[in-house]
Each structure stands twice: as structure tokens, then as C-alpha cells.
Amino acid sequence: MPTRRPALRGNNESNVPGLYVIGDLAGAPVIKLAMAQGVAVIDHIAAKPDARSADPNVYDLIVVGAGAAGLNAALAAQDKGLRALALEKGKIANTIENFPEGKWVYAEPDSSPPKGKLWLDGARKEDLIGRWSQIITENHLDVRAEEGLKALERQKDGTFRVTSDKAEYRARRIVLATGQRGNPRKLRVPGEDRERVYHRLYSPRHYKNEDILVVGGGNSAIEAALVLAERNRVRISYRASEFSRLFKDNDRKLNEAVAQKRIELIFNSNVCEFREKEAVVEVDRGGHQERLTVPCDHAFVLIGAELPVQFLKSLGIRMENEWTGSLWRAAALAFATLLGLWFLGGHAANWAGLPLAEVPRFAGVLLAAAAGGALVALGFRGDRYAWLGLSFLAWYTVYGVKSPGAGAEFWPYRGWGFQALSLFGRPATFWYTVLYTTLMTVFGIQAIKRWGLDRRDKFQIWRYISLLSFQWIFFFLIPEFLFQWAIKYQWVGERLANDPAFAGQAWRSYGLVYAWPLFFYAFFYDPAKIWVLWGVLLSFVIIPLFVLFHGKRYCSWICGCGGLAETFGDRWRHLAPKGRASMRWEWMNLAVLIFAAAVTLAMLLRDGVALLRQPAAWGVNAYHLYADIWLVGILPVTLYPFLGGKVWCRYWCPLAKLMHLFSAAYTKLGISRFRIEANDKCIACSECTRNCQVGIDVMSYALKQQPLDNATSSCIGCGICVSVCPMDVLSFGPPPKLVQISATRN
């Protein structure tokens, strides 16, 4: 999926100081947003005290790429009095120039006006480019077409030496706006460089009465095939067994053309060679490979574009999610830090003849500080494994101390960690809740700004207010304060207030909102049976009803686990694993659900069935250790900055799975009132897919205009895909009408 990008700071600066990346390459998927980035980056650069160079041989700015983003940036720079030059390896606005003849260019999103000097309105591509050329001429903009960037070198004085394929320049800053559509992907087979093999279709009307082979299964390939089939015999070679990302309209037209024998489909096939007037295609017929020779006067290989990763790396730019440094070094330093903490705690034991117990505490402090400090230093030098090590250290400490409790802490904190973190007369568990609520509040406010206020999106504002309110009220104030006051002032009645079993179980108030099996202990350890009653009502009546109307929105509107992911983990949402392989691992939450159900059953029956007593006790301990500490705490939160925030919710949460089963069943019965719909304006920018925290390929639903529901996906209804879509393609659709069911029955 084309969701990989250069790693950038908030102001679009890359890891190379002074080198900025904007436009399509930086995630602005449509012309209007690319233009806006062009203006914003210049505002930022022009405000810098050293924006202007005193040396006349040094440009203030070189813009690379004269597309929507680059041209608008160069124009804005000129307006701010910066000396700017734009280099363009092809024609001006090359990407748009390459659109098929007469293509209508949309000026979405409607909600924001175009920024900067370039003109933008819905128009034919030829008219748009005409207007842009006029603006360039009127403004005397220095654009050097047919002159691509070859290399960049940052000098000691902070300026750049810029080598193009025609000349060499110097500049204080570089704005890279090279897009990501300019490098057509190639098959890399013999004969692909022949004159009759193209990677774009400019003028379909040039071809008549020919045998044409189109390679590819995306919308560009199918649209090309359809238009060529009007006057030619067309074959489509596609490597898969079906087209999975076609616009609904394209799908319909293709089926018609195939039925009328204007197009022949060759699925499960790979082109091996292009020859003079023919192509060799290898077809997989259920494991048996067969070679076909098909007539081919012209071939169009339309298999998408390639992000120029090597080119970007040659400029020194780091890509998102790129692992740097050494895993072993990070692991060794993390272990050394823990070892130091073991000595510091004074509970070290001798091992294999080594007198570890004798190591003085100050040596432990030195070791922990040196190893931990080395991790931090490596992290700031760009070592991503070092950040992984630090993240693990932090969350292993938090959960390994707080969850097992005093005396049962994980190594190296056993016997002292809980006490050490119990500050100002409050236990470590209280400070954990304070930390959790603080993280959610601080990052939640940022998320409200990012998704709600900046985009004027009321849905997201209410969603985050809901998440923060549930956290503050039900997962902080009630368990930490109100429950105790309810006992003290007998708000729960005299009988319960005086029942020590009830009064000592403040932790059970989490069960007010957390349903079984997320709140695993809902049905046991409750002599008063009040909580059991509520647990049954919540888990088997309220939650199923909620799911009927809202799908799995509990995960994105209510739950505290999901809340931390949506707030603290939000900035890494685009790193969520994507693709089919990542989805296959979602079976794990079914395994956790089955385990939780089995242990719960054993616990409920253990008094009557003596045989179950031991397995039930073992099961509860195992569930507490693996699910409550490792799977809900240490592992997922450690992985937030690397795999996004939803690792627990997506792969291990048994309640998410239970809700999914309910929601999928409702959808299949036609009574679910939750789904996302798409209109026909998708431009395949993949922003929705990129930002889906549970790794759903939203774009493939949008292209096919197929409803996205819980029968076909694990959507949690966060609505971020709806918010980020620049073409306003997606919306929470009206529920399917119950009448439809009766109509089908009739």
C-alpha cells in the first residue's frame, strides 16, 4: 500500500536540517492541499532570521519539482522577497500533464479555499495547465523545466550544493516537491524498453484496429483498456485472480466490455517478455504454469507509481518506520539498565558464584544511568531500536511494578518497586492512574485540536470529549475518590457500606463501564453479588444493544484502553500494520476470548466441581499475568511509537472480539445500524487507509463503493478515515432499512 513517506517534523522539515518536503510526497493527496503546504512552508522559512542569504551566489531557496506544491511555494517565496529557483525534471506540472487527454480535474475539498497564487477550480487538465503557465509568465518565476535534481550535498556552512543534470547551484534551503506519481512502476522483463511498450496512455485515439495488451488491474489500467477497446482488440493481463480496487463504474463498464468480447481478461498471469508484435505471458492455472504468446502491436504497462525511496535516501532523507541502529545493542543496554536498578534496589542475589548481592547501590545507580543514558543518546542520534529499548524500559517498569502489586513485582523491582513508586502516602496504583489520565488529557487535547478544531469536525470533537470524560469520571474520580466517599458517607446504603468485602473492592468500580471479558473479574470475587448483576446486564444486554446501533464505537468513544491509544498513541496511528498478512493475525483476540470464557466458566463452576478448582486458579493467574499485564500493558504501549496505538485492541482484546461477533451477526441479519459508505469521487490517494489505526484498507472499499461494516472489517467507528478524506468520499451511512429484510423474505 502506498502509505510510506519521508519522516517529517511538524513544519515539514526532514531529518536533514534545511531540507523540507511538501505536497504529495509529504501526504497532501490533492492539488488544493499540496498548494496549501507550499504556502505554509514558505511562511515558516521566511520567518527565520537567516532566511535570506547575503551571498549573491547562494539562492535563498531552491524548489525541486514544479507541480502544484512546488509552483505555489516558489510563487509564495517570491512574494516574501526570497530569491527562489524551481527545478523541474519534466514539463511544468508534469503529473497533471500526464493525465489522459481532457481529464476533468476536481478542486476538492470544497470546505477550504485554494491558498496562494496558483489558480484552482474544477477544469479540464489542459485549461488548468494553461492558467498555470500564464501565472508563471506574469510573475517572471524562474522555473527551469527539463532539468531534474541529481544530488544534494549539505556543506559545513549549512548551505546546500545542488547538482541538476545541467548545472550546479548553491542554496540556503531546499523544498522538495517531487510528488510520488512521477516514477511509473516497471515489470523489469526483457523487451520492456521497446518503443511499442508504454507506461502511460496519453492519446488513446492514436490507436485503431490493433492488438493491444494492457498490464495491470487498477483503475488507470482498466480505464485505459476501456477507451482503447472502443477501436481495438484489447487483452488485460493481471497477476491476481480478480480486480479488488476498481471504481464501481469501471467494474460495470469492464463487465459489459468482456461480455461483448471487446476485452479479454487473462487473470493470474505475468508478462515474461515483450517481443516484436507479441508478448509472452505466463499463466497460473491452479498451480500449473502455462506460457501463452499473445499478439501485441502496442502494450501499456499501467501498474502504478513507485515512491523514489532510493533517490530520497541518496539525499539523506530518512523514511517513516525505518529501523535504524542495532536491536542487540538496544536489548543489551536495556538489560544493563535493569541490572543497575536491581543493584540499586538492594535485592540482588548472588548468581553462578558471582557475588552480585555485594554490589553497592551507587554502582547500580551508575550502571543504570550509563546504560539508560546511552540509549537516550543513541535515540537522539537516530537509533530507532534505542527508542524501542527505552519505551520497553518505561512501560515494563510501570506495569511490572503496579499490576503484580507490592511484594510480587517483576524483576528487578521485586520487593522494593511498589514501595518506591508509592509517593506522598498514595500507592503506586494511584500514581499509575494519575499518569494514565494525564497522558490521555494532554495528548487528548492535542488530538482534539488536530482532528476536531483544525478540521472543524464536530464528530471528532465530541468523540475526544467522550473519551476524556469517561477516563476522568469512570476510570479516575470514581475508583480513586468517589467510591471511598460512597462508603464513608454511606451513599451506597448502610449494609453495603459496612460490608468489608464490598468496601475493600474499589477496583470493581472499573466494572461500571468495562464489560466482561475486558473486566475479567466481573462474575467472581463478589460476595455481595451486586457487581455480578451489573456485569451480566452490562455485558449481555447493554453492550449488545449498543453494538446494534454503533458497531464497535465502544473502542473509540468509551474505553480507557482505546482512549490511551486514541490520544497518546494517535500521532503514530499511520504506523499500524497494513495488508492481508497483518489482518490474519487478528485471530489472536478470538484465542484470548476463548481462553477468558473457559477460565470464567471454570471459576463459576469450581465450587460444585472439585476437579476444576486447580485449573480455575491456574487460569486466573495465567490470565492476570499474560492478558492483564503483558498484552494490555507492557507490549502494546511499548509498541505505540512503532506499530500505532491499537495493538491491544486489534490483536488481543477479547471484548473487541466479542463486540465484533455481535456486530458481524447483526450486519449479516441486516439489522445493524453501523456502516461507512463511499460516493464515487475517490482518487485513490490512500489517506484513509494510511490513517486507519486498525489497518483496514479503507481505500479498497471506497474505490468499489462497497459499504464498510463489521461483517467485512474490524472497524471501530473512529471516523478518522471520514475526516481525512480530501474528497469527502466517506460518510457514516444511513442504516440498512429493516424493510429490506422483509422485502427479501417476500
Per-position DSSP letters for 357-379, written without gaps between them: GGS-HHHHHHHHHHHHHHHHHHH
Of 2, 90, 304, 577, the one binding ligand FAD by CB under 6 A:
90
Q: What are the residue ranges of helices labelled H in 452-506?
A: 458-472, 483-488, 494-497, 500-503
List the one residue out of 609, 565, 744, 574 whose CA is nearest residue 670: 744
Contact of residue 707 among ligand FAD, ligand SF4, none (CB under 5-8 Å per partner type):
none
C-alpha cell at 109: 475539498
Q: Which is nearer to ligand SF4, 274 or 732 (CB)?
A: 732
Per-position DSSP letters for 565-608, written without gaps between them: HHHTTGGGGGGS--SHHHHHTTHHHHHHHHHHHHHHHHHHHTTT
Of 340, 517, 719, 736, the one binding ligand SF4 by CB under 6 A:
719
CA distance 380 to 386: 9
- Is residue 174 within 8 Å of 257, Cβ to Cβ? no
Q: What are the residue ranges of helices labelled H in 273-423?
A: 309-314, 327-345, 361-380, 384-402, 417-420
- Is residue 38 within 8 Å of 72, Cβ to Cβ? yes
CA distance 24 to 22: 7
Does position 28 bind ligand SF4 by CB under 6 A?
no
Q: Which is nearer to ligand SF4, 512 or 656 (CB)?
A: 656
C-alpha cell at 491: 451513599
> Shortest Cβ distance from residue 640 to ligand FAD (Å)?
30
592 φ, ψ (degrees, to nearest 5): -65, -40
C-alpha cell at 368: 543504570
Does position 515 bind ligand SF4 by CB under 6 A?
no
Q: Which is nearer to ligand FAD, 67 or 191 (CB)?
A: 67
Strand, coil or helix: 36: helix
Does position 575 bind ligand SF4 by CB under 6 A?
no
- Is residue 290 within 8 Å of 282, Cβ to Cβ? yes
Does position 218 bind ligand FAD by CB under 6 A?
no
Per-position DSSP letters for 104-137, written without gaps between them: EEP---TTS---SSS--SSEEHHHHHHHHHHHHH
424 class by beta-carbon count within 10 Å (0-12 exposed, 13-18 middle, 19+ buried): exposed
CA distance 27 to 303: 21
Q: Which is nearer to ligand FAD, 251 or 284 (CB)?
A: 251
Contact of residue 718 among ligand FAD, ligand SF4, none (CB under 5-8 Å per partner type):
ligand SF4
> Shortest Cβ distance from residue 523 to ligand SF4 (Å)?
30
> Shortest Cβ distance from residue 391 to ligand SF4 (Å)?
24
Contact of residue 720 among ligand FAD, ligand SF4, none (CB under 5-8 Å per partner type):
ligand SF4
| Interface stretch with ligand FAD, choices 29-37, 224-232, 320-328, 426-434 (CB under 6 A) | 29-37
| Interface stretch with ligand SF4, choices 525-533, 536-544, 599-607, 725-733 (CB under 6 A) | 725-733
The three-point CA angle 538-540-541 to 5° equals 70
> Shortest Cβ distance from residue 569 to ligand SF4 (Å)?
13
Contact of residue 51 among ligand FAD, ligand SF4, none (CB under 5-8 Å per partner type):
none
Tell me how far the alpha carbon of residue 377 is from its chain's centroid: 28
Q: Of residues 664-723, which lie at the interface with ligand FAD (CB under 6 A)?
A: 683
Contact of residue 460 among ligand SF4, ligand FAD, none (CB under 5-8 Å per partner type):
none
> Shortest Cβ distance from residue 703 to ligand SF4 (Å)?
7
Q: What is the helix (H) or strand (E) element at residue 740, kind and residue range?
A: helix 738-745
Of 698, 704, 710, 736, the one binding ligand SF4 by CB under 6 A:
698
Contact of residue 179 among ligand SF4, ligand FAD, none (CB under 5-8 Å per partner type):
ligand FAD
Does position 51 bind ligand FAD by CB under 6 A?
no
> Shortest Cβ distance from residue 551 to ligand SF4 (Å)?
9
Fill in the amino acid letter for 167.
A
Site size toward ligand SF4 (CB under 6 A) is: 27
Contact of residue 60 among ligand SF4, ligand FAD, none (CB under 5-8 Å per partner type):
none
336 class by beta-carbon count within 10 Å (0-12 exposed, 13-18 middle, 19+ buried): middle
Does position 8 bind ligand FAD by CB under 6 A?
no
> Shortest Cβ distance from residue 194 to ligand FAD (Å)?
24
Of 18, 23, 404, 717, the one binding ligand FAD by CB under 6 A:
23
> Shortest Cβ distance from residue 724 to ligand SF4 (Å)?
6
Of 687, 709, 710, 736, the one binding ligand SF4 by CB under 6 A:
687
- Is residue 400 within 8 Å of 375, Cβ to Cβ? no
> Shortest Cβ distance from residue 682 to ligand SF4 (Å)?
3
Contact of residue 686 among ligand FAD, ligand SF4, none (CB under 5-8 Å per partner type):
ligand SF4
Does position 24 bind ligand FAD by CB under 6 A?
yes
Q: Which residues 6+ apart lie within 8 Å of 694 measured at CB?
A: 576, 646, 649, 650, 714, 715, 716
Contact of residue 374 among ligand FAD, ligand SF4, none (CB under 5-8 Å per partner type):
none
Fill in the amino acid letter for 177.
A
Does position 682 bind ligand SF4 by CB under 6 A?
yes
Q: What is the helix (H) or strand (E) element at residue 153, kind and residue range?
A: strand 149-154
Does position 397 bind ligand FAD by CB under 6 A?
no
Residues that bind ligand FAD (CB under 6 A): 23-24, 29-32, 34, 64-70, 87-90, 93-96, 105-106, 108, 148-149, 177-179, 181-182, 683
Residues that bind ligand SF4 (CB under 6 A): 29, 682-688, 692, 694, 696, 698-699, 702, 708, 715-721, 724-725, 727, 729-730
